[in-house]
Structure formats: structure tokens, C-alpha cells
Amino acid sequence: MLRSFLIGLVAGQRGITPLAVLATATRRGEVAPELPLQKLMLNPVIAAGTAAFAAAEMAGDKMKTAPDRTVPIGLVVRSVTAAYAGAALAPRDKRWVGAGVAVVAAIGSAYPGLALRKWAMKRWGQTATGFIEEAIVFGSGLAITNPSLFTASAEAASAMRQTPAS
């Protein structure tokens, strides 16, 4: 359930990112395509589409006219994507619980995430804080859904440190 909770935190900040990182995880074999429509994520066009939508959301966030993440439609999108990704990351017999945990985390984190972003924007501006937030959210989403990306990197770095220089 931890991964379901964590992907909910990601969804609370960016509504489409959970689908993009889940598509990456599905294509890489990190998450089995067991949910309805999840096999579509194996298609490179669909996977690229989720990434494009996530990128568009991230770009739109930098606009002065971007709505707050807590507007009703934003919360609906976050709830739907959190539920889907949370269910995909939960144990098979606890998919509904994983979905619920992710939705609660998404809604619960959207408000403090917005408050923190507004505070940071006053100090460092919208664009700079947006890029930092995107890096944290996207990187976290990748780590949550694709843990071997990071464990393999850590193992490779450790092996390089242990290899004697010639």
C-alpha cells in the first residue's frame, strides 16, 4: 500500500503524471498490465501520448492563467488518475484499498502542495518553482512506479566505486 499512497501524493500535485509513469512502468515490465485498459499502455503510441499529456500539463502549469490544482475539475482528474495508478500498484487482492488510499493521498496533498507552491512563488517566481516542482514530482513518480530504475543505478554506481583504477 505504500506505493499506492505515494503515487497518490504525486497525483495531488500533477493529475496526469501518474498515468505517464505507470505507462513507463507497464512497458518496462515493472507493473503487470492487469487492470482494465492497462494493456493499452504497452502500445508505444499510447505510452507516448500519456507522456505528452503529462508534459502539456507541466508546461501549462507555468502559465499565469493556470488554474489552481484544487479547482473541482482538477480534483476530479487527480482522483481518477490516483485511483487507477493506486490500484495498479496495490497487491492484486487489495486493488480497491490501493485505489482509495491513493485518492485520499491525492486530495489530501493537493491543498498543502498548492500552499507550499504559492509560498515558494512569492520568493522565487512561478517558472523556477514550477520546474523544481516538476522535477520532484516526475522523479518521485518514476521512482515509485519503476524502482529498478533507481536500484540498478545505485548498484552500478556502487560497482564503479569498488573497481580499482588502472
% of the chain surpassing 90 pLDDT:
83
SS3 track for 60-80:
HHCCCCCCCCCCHHHHHHHHH
0.75 surpassed by pTM? yes
Burial of 153 (0-12, 13-18, 19+ CB in 10 A): exposed
Residue pLDDT, tens place only, 28-82: 999 999 998 999 999 999 999 999 999 999 999 888 888 999 999 999 999 999 9
Q: Cell numbers at residue 55, please?
A: 508534459
pLDDT of 6 strictly over 60: yes
% of the chain surpassing 70 pLDDT:
92
Contact 82, 105 (CB under 8 A): yes
Residue pLDDT, tens place only, 98-142: 999 999 999 999 999 999 999 999 999 999 999 999 999 999 999
